[in-house]
Amino acid sequence: MKDNTYLVHGGRQPSRQHGMVNPPVYHASTVLFPSVAALEAAEKNPFEGVYYGRFGTPLHFEFERAIADLEHAAGAVSVCSGLAAISVALLAVVKAGDRVLVADNVYAPTRKLCDGLLARMGVSTVYFDPCEPDDLTRLLESGAAAVFLESPGSLTFEMTDIPALAATARAAGAAVLMDNTWATPIGFRAIDAGVDISIHSATKYIVGHADAMLGVLACGDRWFDPVRRCARQLGYCAGPDDVYLGLRGLRTLSTRLDRHAHNADRLCAWLDAQPEVAAIRYPAWPSDPGYALWRRDFERASGLFAILLQPGSEPGIAPMLDDLSLFGMGFSWGGYESLVLPVNPAGIRSATRWDTRYPCLRIHAGLEDADDLVADLDAGFDRLRRAIAG
């Protein structure tokens, strides 16, 4: 089945649910067994069938099967948040004394995990420029247990040649992990591109309504079992209501992404004509430095991008953003609502340089009418100009 069809039909089996279209939510911890023999058999392999609430319910299994199928993965594991998914991926593949190579443009909490928890565990992290393949090749000469990638990069949206870097890492014996949240399972087939573990903050586009916390990891053959065992040993189980919202979100994922991308494209066209905008960082925008890689490897875009303002714009940013009526200011993204956030990529970089002369705004194009979003930004830019002019 093509994606649009599978999104509607995958992860549900009405014949097993009295004909109900959606699988039911199981609020369950204890599972009862009919005999000692059945109990002992379940203990020997808790991942076969329903064993205990922490190991999942039929609803969890349907959601995970749908994600695995979409990602062309051996299996998927649901956890309680996107950061939990990142944590499980790293903890499943490293041990004390190992070294991890991490792209310098990753999500900030990924860095905090590496520099905090992993460091205390005796795992060292080295950051590299993901747009300079030779940097990774050189670092791999000293060995690494894993390479962690994110494309496009968090906040700054650099595109990375994932197939090439993944091939280099795997040839050196390193596991390849990728945060694939921006593209979703239908925008980039990370497993097909050579990634071992494709990580999604399902909180964002998969759930799609800013009302649940959920993470999911799609895994290749080698790492599926270690990942699910690590997740359950840590107690990182996803709540049944959140899993239900994740599975429900899949039904409209393609339709929503089309609208997000349409609105992002419309906003970029308007922003590109504003003299206060120095650059647009959106891989699906033709002038973006990563556009060719996006066209080559990705099947679709989403609605998250950044703009760089001209130097000297700082005095006008607060007046501009404070009185926007449709763009909210808040963390996360991927919901139906539009968001804007001032960000400073320089504060979370170590292997690459960010030019701090250009103030950066991260924008999420929601599902509103694009003309209304443009009008809201137009009024905001007018306030920006007045503030700069004094």
> Fold match between 3-251 and 253-389?
no
Domain 3-251 matching CATH 3.40.640.10: the answer reads yes
DSSP-derived 3-state class of residue 187:
coil
pLDDT at 18 over 90: no
Which residue in 195, 161, 190 sits closest to 292, CA to CA? 161
CA 41 to chain centre: 37
Rg of the chain over CA atoms, in angstroms? 22
Using one digit for the tens of pLDDT, what is the confidence trace for 204-238? 999 999 999 999 999 999 999 999 999 999 999 99
Mean pLDDT of 335-351: 94
Distance of CA 140 to the CA centre of its chain: 25
Contacts of 269 (CB under 8 A, 6+ apart): none
Does residue 262 contact residue 373 with C-beta atoms inside 8 Å?
no
Token pair 């929503």 is at which residue? 256
The Cβ-side half-sphere exposure at 205, using a 13 Å CA radius, reads 27
pLDDT of residue 40: 96
Q: Is 186 in contact with 253 (CB distance < 8 Å)?
A: yes
- For residue 147, the model assigns a pLDDT of 98
Residue in the structure block whose two tokens are 């070294």: 99
Return the ∠ at Cα 131 (arms to 127 and 136), rounded to 5°: 50
Contact predicate 288/301, CB 8 Å: no
Q: pLDDT tens, 243-293? A: 999 999 999 999 999 999 999 999 999 999 999 999 999 999 999 999 999
User: Which is nearest to 58 in space by CA: 22, 33, 24?
Assistant: 24
What residues form DSSP beta bridges with 309? 277
Asked whether the predicted pLDDT for residue 326 surpasses 90, the reply is: yes
Please report, in angstroms and rounded to a whole number, the separation of the first and last CA atoms in the chain. Answer: 59
3-class DSSP assignment, residue 144: coil
- Match domain 253-389 to its CATH number in 2.60.40.420, 3.90.1150.10, 3.90.420.10, 3.40.50.9100: 3.90.1150.10
The residues annotated with a catalytic role in the active site are 54, 107, 179, 204
Residues 351, 339: Cα–Cα separation, whole Å: 29
Ranges of each domain in the chain: 3-251, 253-389
What's the DSSP call for residue 55?
G
